[in-house]
Amino acid sequence: MQDLLAGLNEAQRLAVTTISGPVLTLAGPGSGKTRVLTHRIAHLLQQGIAASEILAVTFTNKAAREMRERMQHLVGVDVATKVDIGTFHSLAARWLRRDGRAIGLADGWLIYDDDDQQRLIKRVSKELKLPDKPFTPRAISSAISSAKNELLDAAAYTAASRSPEGRMYAAAYTRYSELLTVAAAVDFDDLLLLTLDLFRTPMLNRYHRRYRYILVDEYQDTNRAQYEMIKALARGSGNVFVVGDDDQSIYGWRGADVRNIRRFESDFAGAQVIILAENYRSTQTILDVAQVLIDAAPKRIHRKLLRGQTPGGEPVSWRECSDQNEESQRVCDAIEGLVKKGVARYADCAIMYRTNAQSRAFEEALSRRRIPYVVIGGMRFYERREIKDVLAWLRLLSNPNDDISLVRAIEFPAQGIGAGSIAHLSEWASSHGVSLYQALIDAAADSTAVPALRGAARQRMMTFGARLYGLVKRAPSLTLLDAFDEMLRESQFVAGLVNEHGGVDAESRVENVNELRRVAGEYAELPVDEQLARFLEEVALVADVDRLAAVDNHVVCITLHQAKGLEYDNVFLVGLEDELIPHSRTHNDPVQIEEERRILYVGVTRARKRLALSRTLRRMNFGRYDQTLSSRFLADIPKGLLAHATNLGTVNPSAGQGRSNPAFQGWGTAAALKPTTVAVQYAVGDMVRHQRFGEGVVLSAKSVDDDVEVVVRFADPAAGEKRLIASFARLEKVTTPN
């Protein structure tokens, strides 16, 4: 026991040893929450609680793997493997695979990922003849997902739809659900909804008896369905332990509801609240900036006073750049300075931004300077076309009624079957309420079936159908690797890659297929009849964040959303401007603005040793420069916490940090790339004219370095109020006639 608790601080120790009843642990950034979770499980085991009675829920497979690996070090491999650890979706899939018959779920069902969902929705749109605007596939899938997050099935959503637009979305939802049923498929949202259906049956008692101790990581990221799942499970023993941080809730756009963690104390009477505020990641100067940012946020349930293990630290640097080109150059200067001085490697540096589009200027600058870099969020392994095509064939071996996979298999390798023939088959299948595979079988058995298919087109379709039929019949007796190899041989998949791509491109794609085959080999020790289903299930459940591959010595370029859970010695937070953070899509909605503040807070707390903040004074958008406003959140940071970068290796003494900052050499390189010299003086009440925004009145004017910052309210409501840098704005004073 002493060894298990050794090295834990007082709050961590309390969180580990408080094992009965509901417990809410509010874990600030870098406070060791994973350590608390794993040590708590180990402590439960030491108290004589069976490993099979413990359930630990995470949000990513990566987090689940890390938790299990740490558990193995604490309690040994044999015991650790008996604890149920997994994501909401992987656990739901496991439970439904075992008990789904209780709610009428057919055997052999498949999980549709985002790409499959988009393909199916495109088919729905075509069938229903929905207009392209506003009914894009992405808009339809978003509407369906939002409905499912609110626990509304197609019938309930239809009943609640009042507007013509809402009824069209409802029709799409209804048809989408019908096609999923025909294909014996479910999407990610269905995994949670179906599990809730399962928990509404007497089967829930079985789960209550099994899981007496429930632990949930990242509770602030739960959506409505996940929240209801945990509440249902916790009604058994009442021993529910959740870890999270309402200050780091940044996924509202995908259904996460920060209210779930905020109402934990009212949901679970007598809940104990434990606050982990000791930070083991960042210097105190970085934490001080983070603290003032988040303290300005409304509706926090408990304030966490962030205390670092590293007092002081280098000052947080702040810079205003003329445009994104200068901003990217200054970041490169700073990175090269760190590397040349030997205080950092490239891999210790991360450039973080609010939107993917901001990466372009940095990619170009890094390339020109020959600085190795990687952009997180590019094409991922399981999203590559050849991988999706292989998986489509394999999914057909498990469930030939999967229409989306069948169409994909027809399209590659090319069968000589055109879109028109596929449309004829699809129309006949829809009118007869059968899958495309069944339509193929019917057409082979009866020449009058699918009459629109004629001649050579019909023959090619029948040849494809016969090949697929043979594979489907042999698949149950084959190991996963044998099925994989037979599929490649029968479909002539590799030849198809060579014919379509050729050369180095084809070679790279074949290597990717071989890598997928290697992954399939990891399932060889399972019973033959489980291998294919388990492989397809686990591949489908790989989350985006799990695909963040380890990189060599490269600078990391990453969005703030993707950076959550990561940390770097040196972080460059760029583009800190209104319209970017908070994003223009927030439309000044208080709830969304609150989340945008939390996004910035998450970014700041990714930094371990050094943090540099920057913005541009103007930004190129659609071929023209727009004036920008500093992010409104920066107004909450006292000037004394920031070192204003002005000259090489120095900071502005007036910023409250009158000492050198040599590590960020280059970040402070003077580069006042201003197109004009400010000679005109402005006063409150002056009428001015801007080339783009028209006429307006000056609300305030103040000196900023060698420039003037002018706030103008323009007459054009679309322009509204703007904060402008006079040297860029080229404002003209308007003389008002007497």
- The catalytic residues are 33-34, 217-218, 248, 606
CA distance 143 to 161: 12
Half-sphere exposure of 356 (CA within 13 A, CB side): 6
Residues 327, 352 contacting (CB under 8 angstroms): no
CA distance 645 to 651: 5
Q: What angle do CA 252, 253, 259 make, to 5 degrees?
A: 20
Tokens 């609680």: give the residue.
49
Closest listed residue to residue 227, CA positions, set 186, 267, 271: 267
Tokens of 2: 């002493």
Identify whether 315 is preceded by a cis peptide bond (ω within 30 of 0). Answer: no
Tokens of 139: 């808009």
Kindly state the DSSP code that residue 579 receives in the 8-state scheme.
B
Residues 89, 541 contacting (CB under 8 angstroms): yes
Question: How far, in Å, are 362, 673, 701 from residue 372 at the CA level?
Answer: 12, 27, 43
Half-sphere exposure of 482 (CA within 13 A, CB side): 12
How would you class 681 by CB atoms within 10 Å of its CB: exposed for 0-12, middle for 13-18, buried for 19 or more? exposed
Closest listed residue to residue 319, CA positions, set 613, 105, 624: 613
CA distance 90 to 85: 9
Phi, psi for residue 342 in degrees, rounded to 5: 75, 15
Tokens of 555: 């600078």
CA distance 391 to 522: 16
Locate the DSSP E strands across 43-145: 54-58, 84-87, 110-112
Q: What angle do CA 684, 689, 692 make, to 5 degrees?
A: 130
CA distance 334 to 570: 10
Helix (H), strand (E) at residue 310: strand 307-310
Closest listed residue to residue 374, CA positions, set 405, 351, 403: 351
Extract long-range pairs of 62-65: CB within 8 Å, 24+ residues apart: 62/543, 62/545, 62/546, 62/548, 63/34, 63/87, 63/217, 63/218, 63/565, 64/90
Annotate 356-385 with DSSP letters as a single string: GGGHHHHHHHHHHTT--EEETTS--GGGSH
557 forms bridges with which residues in the sheet?
351, 375
Kindly state the DSSP code that residue 737 receives in the 8-state scheme.
P
Identify whether 653 is preceded by a cis peptide bond (ω within 30 of 0). Answer: no
Distance of CA 30 to the CA centre of its chain: 20
3 state SS of 231: helix
